[in-house]
Amino acid sequence: MALILKGFRKLENIALDPTITGALLFGLTKAPASIREPLLHQLSKYLSDENVTRFIKYLTWAWVLGFTGTVNRALNSWALNNWRWKSDKDKWMWSKEIAVVTGGCSGIGLETVRGLMRKSIKVAVLDIQPLPKELENYGNIKYFYCDVTSTDSISEAASAVRSKWGDPTILINNAGIGAPHTLLDTSNEWVAKIFTINIVSHFWMVKEFLPSMIKKNHGHVVGLASMASFVAPPAIVDYACTKAAVLAFHEGLDQEIKHIYKTPGVLNTVVHPSWVRTSLVGGYESHLEKTQGKLMKPEHIAKRIVDQIVSCRGGQIVMPKRLAVAAGIRGLPNWLQELIRDVTVGGAVSDFPNAKKD
């Protein structure tokens, strides 16, 4: 089944690539007869005249959709990079860049640290967990104990990073927690903890490291949000609230960078992964794969983050890409929004311990 789905996705990618569909459409309809007629002759071996006409019609629509999608992505990138087409790659020297990664000792954070290290970037790992032993002897990785729920701990770690290497130019707010439970089963202590780690710490970290980026007009802030930023599933309402806040945080940060600080060299990226095989879903992997599809691997998310950083472009990343349509759900009529939520997330908790059976 996995191979079949993979094949369908590859076919979909080909069908929506305007360079492929455009070239084929041109060859079948506008090319010189010496090119067009042999192509039509080959196609007629497999399709009737009527179906050849239909195929060309479908090909036209595939080209229109693919071209529209390509233009849309280009405009999105333009808008999310302070209305600039060109990146400032010449201003980034990876061996001299310094990245801070919170929660960098496990999961997506750990894989991101590895990816940045391979690009020769110095990486300051901020975590309450110890650094994995296999990373202890790398010269461009340095561990700093940091409890992101404490402003004093953040300030101490930030000072230690600056003393060791200087001002960081990349900040990745990755630290996060989550656990399934209903609103009524959520303790007051947990609410305070999850909001502090998942979003309040982003404010504190940015206040520590953004000023030097603004001063130099050079930097990149990355925040880990979630697909739950767009659709709040039951049983993780607290988590979804924090991730929606991460999205709002980065939207507002983008506006301040442009209109208040006027520093287009400071980039801004927010990442929205779907379900990922990390400790956050420990014990629920089988259930999630049965109801939500195959879980993504942390290294896939990390690679996309690192690729975005070395592209020297800001952006909004949805993974997997096919779920990008979820970002527009709030623009739909309420009845359609609720129908989508019921179908896509309701089933995921149908056998939750406190769920009543119909």
Asked whether the CA dihedral 176, 177, 182, 188 is positive or negative, the reply is negative
Catalytic annotation present for 239: yes
Residue 36, judged by CB atoms within 10 A of its CB (0-12, 13-18, 19+), counts as middle
Catalytic one among 207, 243, 284, 297?
243
Catalytic one among 239, 297, 321, 356?
239
Residue owning tokens 């992505």: 73
* Spatial distance between the Cα atoms of 125 and 133, rounded to a whole number of angstroms: 13
Catalytic annotation present for 58: no
Give the phi and the psi of residue 83 in degrees, each rounded to 5. 60, 40
Say if CB 26 and CB 32 are below 8 A apart. no
The CA–CA distances, whole Å, from 315 to 33, 74, 223, 267 equal 45, 11, 11, 8
Question: Which pairs with CB-CB distance under 8 Å and at least 24 residues apart come from 209-214?
Answer: 209/100, 209/158, 209/167, 209/168, 209/171, 210/171, 210/266, 212/167, 212/168, 213/167, 213/169, 213/171, 213/263, 213/266, 214/261, 214/263, 214/266
**CB atoms near residue 23 (< 10 Å):** 13
Positions marked catalytic: 239, 243
